Amino acid sequence: MLSGIVAMTRHSQVMGKDNQLPWNIPGDLKFFRSTTLGHRIIMGRKTFESIGSKPLPKRENWILSSQHCSDNLSQGSDVRYFKTKDEILEAISLDSSGKKNFIIGGAQIFQVFWKEIGEFFVTWIDHDYEGDILFPKVNWDEFHLQQERREIDPIPHSFCHLLRKNL
Enumerate the domain spans of the chain.
Answer: 1-39+112-155, 45-99
Segments in the chain forming alpha helices (H): 26-36, 45-50, 85-93, 107-113
pLDDT in tens, 8-24: 999 999 999 998 999 99
pTM: 0.93
Residue 75: Cβ-neighbour burial (10 angstroms; 0-12, 13-18, 19+): middle
Tens-place pLDDT, residues 81-126: 999 999 999 999 999 999 999 999 999 999 999 999 999 999 999 9
DSSP 3-state of 80? strand
Contacts of 113 (CB under 8 A, 6+ apart): 2, 4, 42, 85, 103
Phi, psi for 133 (deg, rounded to 5): -120, 115
pLDDT in tens, 19-73: 899 999 999 999 999 999 999 999 999 999 999 999 999 999 999 998 856 555 4
CA angle 158, 141, 122 (to 5 degrees): 25
Classified by CATH at the fold level, domain 1-39+112-155 comes out as Dihydrofolate Reductase, subunit A (3.40.430)
CA distance 43 to 104: 6
CA distance 65 to 134: 19
Q: Please tell me the distance from the alpha carbon of residue 114 to that of residue 155, in angstroms, as a whole number.
A: 28
Tens digits of residue pLDDT in 67-80: 856 555 445 678 99
pLDDT at residue number 51: 93
> How far is Cα 150 from Cα 145, in angstroms, rounded to an integer?
13
